[in-house]
Amino acid sequence: MRGTQLQPASASQFGRFFRSWIQNPLSIGAVAPSSRPLARLMVRDLHGDSRVVEFGSGTGTVTQAIVDRGVKANNLCLIEQHAQFIEILRGRFPGALTVEADVTRLNGELAEWAGSVDFIVSGLPLVLFNRARKRSLLTQAFDLLNERGSFHQFTYAACCPISKSLLAELGLRATRLGIAAFNFPPAFVYRFERER
């Protein structure tokens, strides 16, 4: 059974996203919400029984793609640090757990999800994070993920946003899943998972 949204994204939400980017481009990392083709690429491996956490949900474009894959609201957690986006997300996806937080400083807020998550989907601007912040983010992400869980991340950079040395240090491997060529700007999607 496929999920449904209760309230579609609107032009005013796009405007709010753009204004937030103007005010703090290093925090938002994009001038516009993700395109539908990018969102579909981000969630292509998800299925209805997946337990999913989304980092940096914004106005919910990727969230909607997650729901469209059949992920149930009680298996979906949205983490967003901007209060104006939290308001939008709670209106559009009332059944999901929505947490206002910086994902690099969760401090056990998702303890009950630890080790049980199948996928983490991230729209955070990782290329703007320093090494220590990337390490913190990935450590917390893989504490949430189950043994076979994976972390999907998009980036506007043509190369992987996580260095080979950091991947090796954390025992992770990266695979490029594809490119959303018609996104603005074009975006690359990577999957990170534990080395087996």
User: Quick check: 5 pLDDT over 50?
Assistant: no
Instruction: Please check whether residue 99 lies inside any domain of the structure.
Output: yes
Instruction: Please check whether residue 190 lies inside any domain of the structure.
Output: yes
Cα gap 30→140, rounded to integer Å: 23
Please state the pTM of the whole predicted model: 0.83
Instruction: Please check whether residue 1 lies inside any domain of the structure.
Output: no
Instruction: Please check whether residue 4 lies inside any domain of the structure.
Output: no
Query: What are the angstrom distances between the C-alpha of 86 and each of 21, 97, 107, 120?
Result: 15, 11, 19, 18
Convert the pLDDT of each residue in 45-88 to its tens digit.
999 999 999 999 999 999 999 999 999 999 999 999 999 999 99
Q: Are 138 and 144 in contact (CB under 8 A)?
A: no
Please give the pLDDT value at position 106: 85
In the chain, the number of structural domains is 1
Instruction: Please check whether residue 69 lies inside any domain of the structure.
Output: yes
User: Quick check: 148 pLDDT over 90?
Assistant: yes
Percent pLDDT > 70 in the chain is: 83
The CATH number of residue 86's host domain is 3.40.50.150
Please give the pLDDT value at position 33: 66
User: Quick check: 31 pLDDT over 80?
Assistant: no
Convert the pLDDT of each residue in 163-184 to its tens digit.
999 999 999 999 999 999 988 8
Structural domain for 151, as ranges = 11-194
Residue 150 phi/psi, 5-degree rounding, is -135, 155
User: Quick check: 11 pLDDT over 60?
Assistant: no
Q: What is the mean predicted confidence (pLDDT) over 90-115?
A: 93
User: Quick check: 116 pLDDT over 90?
Assistant: yes
Instruction: Please check whether residue 3 lies inside any domain of the structure.
Output: no
b/e 97-109 (16+ beta carbons within 10 angstroms → b): bbbbebbbebeee
